[in-house]
């Protein structure tokens, strides 16, 4: 990855790959979870804090079989099924994990079950040769395969299920007499007397990431699938390929999303919302019937009320807009409550930060804030109050009052005409002097 960040902590859809995996795994309610890590242990430990995960360290990189063996102490005393997954293969679903466990416990009693997939471009994946019942006859790494074996189209993802009572016994029996001199996890499948089976999934679920290029490819595959899901669930995407979701984006029915919209983590959009083009939403809630954008930015803590409007070049942060409230143009609403039906004029800002602390602005229901106003927090504008355009408001405005806080306008008759005549003559004189 050419990065100071651990590979498995690079994000897909706004969430580190390892946390994608743990989120899917959590649906199976595992008794124990062990993450085997080499370099970058501190980063991984920090990322999985609170996820009930034990860390096992692989101090030497001696292959996948050696890596799994490092989990021995963390699994001491555990009796049950074991899933072996990869932190850089983030998209495997909980349903596929269940299918591995179910196949392991079927009546023909395999000692291990491997997750396989088919693709026209298997590359350097190991090959699986199996009979019609999915019982594995041979599994071989690509580097050690013959040309005939490399022509097989069933590939080994490396993910598998086995039993705790079998796993470490089998690992103790494998060697490293291969082209790389490593202890291959798949070698437990081909030990004498070993009966193993294969379960197939699609290539999407087992896509691995070993470079920024592959990270982008996995992101693209995830986004493509999520767009299809959104449309199937009743969302209209005008230009689907230009819309980007986060892992936890929630969209209601009859939501319309125009081109070039980005959803960061933590967004909930209720029914009948319109999100116009080039808008960015993160950590925000948009209530039913609201309208966002174009070119709007909703930052964490934004809560846009029923049928409220956040228009072009408006930024909202840690603020609530009540039902039917409007901020249509070129405004910043931060650390504020805006009452139902209030109108925020173009160019209005809440001055919420003094360089040290943040302060709140309260705007009552039905209030009207004139264009190009600055509301210097902490300040309160009462219900139905009006703030005149161009005002800098530093004191509370009572309900129903008018506040005008701007310099007095002066008129100088004919001044502009005289100024233009003077400057035109000066310009002409300079030109004649050249």
Helix axes 94-104, 17-26, angle to 10 degrees: 60
The pLDDT value given to residue 160: 96
Does 329 qualify as catalytic in the annotation?
yes
Q: What angle is formed at CA 264 by the lines to CA 263 and CA 265, rounded to 5 degrees?
A: 120
Burial class (CB in 10 A: 0-12, 13-18, 19+), 388: middle
Q: What is the CATH number of domain 212-403?
A: 2.160.10.10
72, 247, 260, 329: the active-site residue: 329
- Could you give the residue range(s) of every CATH 2.160.10.10 domain in the chain? 212-403
pLDDT, tens digit only, all 434 positions of the chain: 999 999 999 999 999 999 999 999 999 999 999 999 998 899 999 999 999 999 999 999 899 999 999 999 999 999 999 999 999 999 999 999 999 999 999 888 899 999 999 987 767 888 999 998 899 999 888 888 899 999 899 999 999 999 999 999 999 999 998 778 899 898 899 898 889 999 999 999 999 999 999 999 999 999 999 999 999 999 999 999 999 999 999 999 999 999 999 999 999 999 999 999 999 999 999 999 999 999 999 999 999 999 999 999 999 999 999 999 999 999 999 999 999 999 999 999 999 999 999 999 999 999 999 999 999 999 999 999 999 999 999 999 999 999 999 988 899 999 999 999 999 999 999 999 98
The pLDDT value given to residue 369: 98
The pLDDT value given to residue 120: 77
Q: Which stretches of 331-434 are assigned E, i.e. beta strand?
A: 332-338, 343-344, 349-351, 361-363, 368-369, 374-376, 379-381, 386-387, 392-393, 402-403
The pLDDT value given to residue 383: 98
| Nearest-angstrom CA–CA distance, 393 and 377 | 9
Residue 17 vs residues 36, 102, 200, 330, 429: alpha-carbon distances, Å: 15, 25, 22, 37, 71
- Could you give the residue range(s) of every CATH 3.90.550.10 domain in the chain? 7-201
At a CB cut-off of 8 Å and minimum separation 6, what does 125 contact? 142, 155, 156, 157
| Nearest-angstrom CA–CA distance, 297 and 301 | 12
The pLDDT value given to residue 40: 87
The pLDDT value given to residue 125: 85
Which tokens go with 352?
């919420």
Q: In CATH, which of 3.40.190.10, 3.90.550.10, 3.40.50.2000, 3.40.640.10 is domain 7-201?
A: 3.90.550.10
| Nearest-angstrom CA–CA distance, 30 and 22 | 10
The pLDDT value given to residue 121: 73
């Amino acid at each position: 990855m050419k990065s100071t960040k651990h590979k498995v902590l690079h994000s897909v859809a706004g969430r580190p790959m390892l946390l994608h995996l743990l989120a899917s795994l959590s649906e199976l309610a595992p008794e124990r979870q062990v993450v085997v890590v080499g370099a970058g242990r501190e980063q991984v430990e920090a990322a999985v804090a609170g996820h009930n995960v034990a860390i096992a360290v692989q101090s030497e990189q001696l292959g996948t079989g050696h890596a799994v063996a490092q989990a021995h102490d963390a699994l001491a005393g555990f009796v049950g099924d074991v899933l072996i997954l990869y932190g850089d293969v983030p998209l495997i679903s909980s349903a596929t994990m269940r299918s591995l466990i179910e196949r392991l416990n079927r009546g023909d009693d395999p000692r291990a079950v491997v997750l396989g997939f088919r693709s026209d471009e298997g590359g350097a994946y190991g090959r699986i040769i199996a009979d019609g019942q999915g019982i594995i006859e041979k599994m071989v790494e690509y580097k050690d395969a013959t040309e005939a074996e490399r022509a097989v189209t069933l590939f080994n993802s490396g993910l598998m299920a086995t039993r705790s009572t079998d796993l470490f016994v089998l690992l103790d029996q494998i060697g490293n007499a291969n082209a790389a001199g490593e202890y291959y996890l798949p070698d437990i499948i081909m030990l004498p007397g070993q009966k193993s089976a294969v379960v197939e999934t699609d290539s999407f679920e087992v896509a691995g990431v070993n470079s920024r290029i592959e990270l982008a490819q996995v992101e693209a595959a995830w986004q493509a699938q999520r767009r299809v899901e959104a449309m199937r669930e009743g969302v209209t995407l005008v230009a689907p390929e230009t819309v980007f979701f986060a892992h936890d984006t929630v969209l209601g029915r009859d939501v319309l999303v125009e081109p070039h919209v980005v959803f960061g983590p933590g967004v909930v959009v209720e029914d009948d919302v319109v999100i116009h083009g080039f808008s960015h939403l993160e950590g925000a809630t948009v209530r039913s019937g609201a309208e966002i954008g174009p070119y709007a930015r909703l930052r964490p803590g934004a809560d846009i009320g029923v049928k409220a409007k956040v228009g072009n070049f408006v930024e909202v942060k840690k603020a609530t807009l009540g039902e039917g409230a409007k901020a249509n143009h070129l405004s910043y609403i931060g650390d504020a409550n805006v009452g139902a039906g209030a109108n925020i004029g173009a160019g209005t800002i809440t001055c919420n930060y003094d360089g040290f602390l943040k302060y709140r602005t309260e705007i009552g229901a039905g209030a009207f804030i004139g264009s190009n106003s600055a509301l210097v927090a902490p300040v309160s504008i009462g219900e139905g109050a009006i703030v005149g355009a161009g005002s800098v408001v530093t004191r509370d405005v009572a309900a129903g009052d008018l506040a005008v806080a701007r310099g007095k306008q002066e008129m100088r008759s004919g001044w502009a005409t005289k100024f233009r005549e003077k400057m035109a003559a000066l310009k002409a004189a300079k030109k004649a002097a050249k």
